[in-house]
Every structure is written in structure tokens, then in C-alpha cells.
A and B are shown apart, each in its own frame.
Chain A
Amino acid sequence: MDFNLKDEQRALQESVTRLLGTHYNFEARNRHAQQDDGWSRDMWARYAELGLLGLPFAEEHGGFGGDAADLMLTMEAFGRVMALEPYLATVVLAGTALRVGGTPSQRADFLPRIADGSLLCAWAHGERDTWHQPSHVTTTAAQDGDTWVLHGAKSLVLHGLSADLLVVSARVRGAADATEGIGLFLVPGDAKGLSKRGYRLLDQTPAAEITLSGVRGRLLGTATEAWPIIERVIETGIAAVCAQAVGAMQAALDLTVDYLNTRQQFGRPIGENQALQHRAAEMLIATEQARSMAMLAAMIVDDPEAQDRARHIAMAKAVIGREARLVGQQAIQLHGGIGMTTEYSAGHYLRHFTVIDQLFGDTAFHVRRLAEEHA
């Protein structure tokens, strides 16, 4: 057992933190959100320069050969500033699908372009009625020569509007909720028959609704039984957003402690009230519990052989959903009125956590899954 970071990891953490420290305070974030895409292309170029966009890819694909711990550190840093760039969509989700499921030539074609920042991707899996059931896929794919023709609609596609390449799940056969018969397909972002409608999530993250009417795509990998890949992508996504949540929780806590030390009422800093000290301590406890789960998720997702992988990932998502909510709510409470305003960052963490909770299954969904094992 070793909870210490390796030297390279510490260096990575420092450089990401430094980069975001200079370019991503709350005002800068608001400016990035105002841009057409809802995020900053300049920042994207900087991430590429630092090697973050190829972090999980092999060196032969222009990558860094990093592991889940590296990804965790990066997502945590992004979480601290609530970064808006399509890192989760491109590198983590689509990147994992390509890395794990792609043919050698698909990997050689796409991964280096992700790593150098020239290819933006999205993971188009969820559907309007999916709720949290990840096997609920009604979009269909039928083979036509060496391409496939897709019909259907995808919902809540993170960064779907900016994506040059979409990884789309579609049913080749079977009933709507079956895990068998789902394939993954690569569809260009400007494919004929593809329409997109962009909007923002509560925390400003760009997302899109997408319809596919006779869109042509290519099969990812060689098999139409893609369920294990889908699971892997979702689990990697969960590990990533857990780390992201931890970063935001720590930031919310730091901000709150700062405020407790400066805000004066009744002639002294409000942080001198033990009632508030205890609330801040509860936030700390929640953050550390969440951090432990983010570590667990990061470790286990890299170890596809691990017996309890699915169960532990579910535990991580369940715990983090609840603990993050607590931190977000307390941050607002301890700030008083100022915590309720959009101009100040404190209140935005709760918006961020509300979104994170709903990605890849919320707390209730994962608790339900865990409870079913006790049945």
C-alpha cells in the first residue's frame, strides 16, 4: 500500500495547479463560459502543451502513458476551478472508448489527434428515457456495406456541439434494456443526417441533444458486443467525476474557511462561533471521505480484473454524491446571503455537484444497485 505520489505525479499536479491558478479564477471561468462553445480554446491548447490531453494514452499514440492516479490528479485540479473544457468528454470518455475498444488503426488515427488538441470528441450514449439505466439503448444501427446506418436520439451529450467525432452507442439487436446487442459507432460531428441542439447544464457545462436520421458511421473496434467497453467507459467516467468533485469540495471548503476568518458579525469573525467551526469540520470530514472514495475508484478502475470493481465504483459514486451535496449546501449556509448570489463563487459549487450527481447514475441509483446485492 502506498498513498504517496510519485515524483512525476507531484510534478504533474504542480504544473496543472500552477496553470489553472494563473488562468482560471472565477472571473476567468465566467469569461470562458461566455464564449460560443462555452469553454476556452486557449486553455485547451495549454492543456495539450502540458501533455494533459494525451495523459492516459500510450506513448506511441502521442500520449503520456499515465495511469488512473494521474487522471485523478488532473480531474481534481479541474474540479477545483470547475473547468469547462471538454476534457471529460474527449479524453476520458471518448478517449477510453477508443483506447480500450478501438482497432489498432483507429487508435493510431484518433488518439494522437486527441493528444495534440486537434480532435474534440463526445460520448453519445445516454438517451432521453435512459434515466440512469445504462443499457437502455433504443438508437439503432444497421449494417450497409462497410458502414452502418444509425437512427435515433441521444440526450445530455456532454460537449456534443463542439465535437468533431462522436462515439455513439446503438442497438444492433435485442430488447431496449438488454446489455447484449449494443455496438459503438464512430460518427463525424458534421455527418449528414445528424442534428444537434446545444444548451448548458446548471454549472455551465455545455451539452447537446442529438438526433440521428440515417447517419452513417463506422464500427468502433471489430465487434458489435460493446457492453464491456461501455461499462469500462462509464466506470472511468465515474472515477474521473469523483476526483473532479473532490477538487471542487476542497475548493469550496477553502473558500468557506477563508470567509469564516474574514467576515465580521457581532464584532468578531464569524469563525469564532463554535457552531460554525463544527460545520466547517463536517465539510472537512465529508471531503476526506470523498477523497478516499475517489482514490479507491481511481485504483480499481485501472484494474479490470478486480473482483469487486463494479461494487466499489458504485460505492464511490454513492458516497461522493451525498458528501458533495453536503459540502455545497454548507458552503452556502456559512456564507449567508452572499452564498446565494451568482456573482460570487460559493453558490456555484452546489450547482456543480448537482450536475455531477446526475452523471453516470446518481446516489440513489448506485445505492439501489448496492442494495440489490443484499437481496
Chain B
Amino acid sequence: MDLRLTAKEKRFREEVRDFIATNLPEDIRSHLRAGHPPTKDHIVRWHRILNTRGWATAHWPKEWGGAGLSPVERMILTEEIFLAPAPTPLVFNSSMIGPVIIQFGSEEQKRQFLPKIANLDIWFCQGFSEPDAGSDLASLRTLARRDGDHYVVTGQKIWTTMAHHADWMFCLVRTDPAAKKQVGISMLLIDMKTPGVTVRPIMSIDGHHHLNEVFLDEVRVPVENRVGEENKGWDYAKFLLGHERTGIAGVGRSKERLSYARELATQVKAGKRPLAEDPCFREQLALIEADLKALEITQLRVVAGHAGHHADKPDPLTSVLKVRGTELYQAVCELACRSAGPAAIAIQPAGGAADELDAAPRWGAALAPSYFYSRAASIYGGSNEIQKNILAKTVLGL
């Protein structure tokens, strides 16, 4: 047993760090450092820079533009991107639909889509959830009726993150309403410009527009845009949702926010002295840091494939990473927001010029929104309750 990185892995970390230091545009870095969500332009620009090294799709096979990295190297890459902080490669492209097409797509789909997905020439969004199908995803009702060499799709998707930026959507639809819930589902790739697709924004409690409803009204989708076999979509969805396991813990993301909280604490006062000198604050930091260390090691165990005692059962550590990773991320965002004190509670007028009556210092502006948005982390990607159900049932046999 050796928990240390090998010399080669350490060299890789240096290489990634140098690359990021040289190539990450400062405007993107400072925007993210303050806690703002990245803009479309930030994501596209950075995704393409990473793609010059194959690092936007590091876990894809080399023949499709991947980097052939080992699992540990991929983990290092992800962590360094978070720590920079830089936007992660677009998860819908890189970690979700890309691997599904590589695994299950037709040759034609691979040639048509993979290079563009890798370079973010086309932006995918994920059309899974529906108003009545959230945690119970298999109860989705969007209907795809076969009409010659087309499917005609009608229904409604919700919570579609960044659908307003998307060129394409990978979508779960019901192709056999008579079959058992999980069986009659197929996966389609839908061009967002097809007539009948309407995107309506949903504002979230951080005051931003990330989410959308997508209405599908008699949308005609060529049959060749179906991924894999008809009525097998549930299998592909499960593959897709279970595929990306390294990013899920968000260790680097939490570490970066923690270091920001520490930086803030030197600037703000708690009573008469800097918050950084306050023993209560330091204790909170210290404990979160220790928890993050534990998570990091747990993540290494998953990445290195040595889950330990449960070799014959589904790897439970993925759910452990999701639950603890999101809880810690939320704790850090909350701490950063609280550290800013009253400076975090003013809504900054958008683009307002700074003047002598300027509201609370601008550095506090993004902290409450990012704290509020962090609350979603335990809801999406299989809510933490669902993860615990999985742990209780599959691991503990309860």
C-alpha cells in the first residue's frame, strides 16, 4: 500500500499546472475565483484550449481524440482544473454523451459527432428529467412515435441545464408505452433548431439563468439519430450516469473554495481582529480540510479500483463520494459566504458603476449566489437521499 503519487504522476501534475498557468486566460480565472459561474464564452474558450492537448476528453480513447491518461492522471487533471480555478470541460459533451456514442453509437454517429463534441463545436444538453419524472426518472412520458424514417417526439423536459446554449440535446423518450417502465425507453440526439423545440428559461435562486424547460411539440427526429437500439435507452442512460466517477467528489472544487475562504478571512474583521485569527473560524477550516483529505483518499480508492471489501457488490464508494463530496462542497460555500459577513447580503446592481455610495464591497457579490446554487448539488445527479437508498439496499442489504 502506498498512497503517494509516483514520480511519473508527480511530473504529470507539474505538467498540467504549467499548462494551466500559461494558458488559462486571466479574465476567466478571476471571474471564477470570485465565485461567479463561468459564462458560455468562458466554457467554450477553455474547453478548446484543453482540447489542444486532448485534455477536454482525457478519458476517451486516443483514436477519438482522448489523451489516454491513466485513471489517476485523469483525477490529477480534474483536480488541477478545479484548483486553478478554471471551468471543467463541458460535462454533457465530455463525460456524458461522448462516452455513450463511443460505446454504443453507430460509425456514422462517431464520425459526425465525436470530433465536434471534443472541440465543443457543438454543445450538448441533457434532456432526461421531466416534471413528473425526477428521482423516478424511468416514469418519463415524452413520447416518440415512429413515422417512416423519423420519430415524432412530443413531451416536456425540465431542469435542462444550459439548454439555452445548446446546439443538440441527448434525450430520453418513450418508444414503447406498453412495455415496463424501464424497457420502452430510447435515447435520441435532437438538433435544438428542429421545428417544435421551444426553450423556456427557469431562473434559479442564485439569480442566474442556468436551467430551462424544453418543450417538444411534434419534433421530427431522423431515426439515424437514435443512439444504439430502440427501447434500450435505459441501459445507455445508466451507463452515462455511472460513467464519470472521478469528478463527482469535487475534491479540487471544494479545496479551491476553501482556499478562497481562507483568503477572505485575512481581509475581513471578526469583531476587532481579522477573521483569520479567530479560533472558531480556524477550527471550522481545519475540520473541513480533514474531511476533504478523507474524501481524497476515498476517491483514490475508487479511482485505483480497490474499493476493498465489497468486490462482489456494486461499488458503493461512488455514492459515498457523491454524498460526502456534495456535503463538503456545500459546507465550504456556506463558510465562504458567512466569512464575507454583511458584504454578502447585498444584491449588486448588474454592471452598476462603482461610486462613493457603492453598496457593499464587490468581492462579496458572488458568495451568496454560489452558496445558494451549491444547494442543488445534493439534488441533481441522483439526490443524496437516492444515493443513501442505494447504499442501504445494495451494500447493506437493508
Residues of A within 8 A of B (CB): 126, 128-133, 153, 155-156, 177, 195-197, 199-202, 207, 209-211, 264-267, 270, 273, 275-276, 325, 329, 332-333, 336-337, 339-343, 347-348, 350-351, 354-355, 357-358, 362-365, 367-368, 371
CB contact under 8 A between A156 and B205, given known A129-B269, A197-B359, A339-B379: no
Partner of A209, one of B270, B334, B359, B388: B359
Binding stretch for chain A, among B9-17, B26-34, B96-104, B349-357 = B349-357
Contact with A along B189-232 (1 / 0, CB 8 A): 00000000000001111010001000000000000000000000
Q: In chain B, what residue has the closest Cβ to A155?
A: B360
Query: Cα distance A248–B361 when bound, in Å?
Result: 28
Q: Write out the residue numbers on chain A whose beta carbons fall within 8 Å of the beta carbon of B376.
A: 337, 340
Chain B residues in the interface with A (C-beta under 8 A): 129, 132, 134-136, 139, 158-159, 202-205, 207, 211, 268-272, 278, 280-281, 330, 334, 337-338, 341-342, 344-349, 355-361, 368, 371-373, 375-376, 378-380, 383-385, 388-389
Known A207-B346, A333-B379; contact A133-B269, beta-carbon cutoff 8 A: yes
Task: Output the nearest chain A residue to B358 by Cβ-Cβ distance.
Answer: A209
Cβ contact within 8 Å between A195 and B379: no
Known: A197-B355, A199-B359, A209-B358. Is A133-B272 also a contact (CB below 8 A)?
yes
Q: Are B132 and A264 in contact (CB under 8 A)?
A: yes
Residues of A within 8 A of B129 (CB): 337
Interchain CB contact under 8 A, A265 and B134: yes
A177-B272, A351-B372 as given contacts; A202 in contact with B338, CB under 8 Å = no
Which A residues are in CB contact (< 8 Å) with B270? 131-132, 364-365, 368
Expressed in whole angstroms, the Cα–Cα distance for A350 and B368 within the complex equals 10
Known contacts A347-B372, A358-B342, A197 near B211 by CB under 8 Å: no
Cα-based distance from A132 to B275 in the complex (angstroms): 12
Which label, helix, strand, loop or mixed, suits the secondary structure of the A interface?
mixed
Complex Cα spacing A329 to B333, Å: 13
Chain B: minimal CB distance from A176 (Å): 10
Nearest CB to that of A196 among chain B residues?
A: B357
Residue of A131, A275, A347, A365 most packed against chain B (CB within 10 A):
A131
Q: Which residues of the partner chain B approach A340 to less than 8 Å between Cβ atoms? A: 204-205, 211, 373, 375-376, 379
CB distance B205 to A342 under 8 Å?
Answer: yes
For B158, B205, B389, which residue has the most chain A Cβ atoms within 10 angstroms? B205
Q: A266-B139, A362-B338 are in contact. List 11 more A-B contacts (CB 8 A).
A: A265-B136, A332-B379, A337-B129, A337-B376, A341-B202, A341-B204, A343-B202, A358-B345, A364-B281, A367-B280, A368-B270
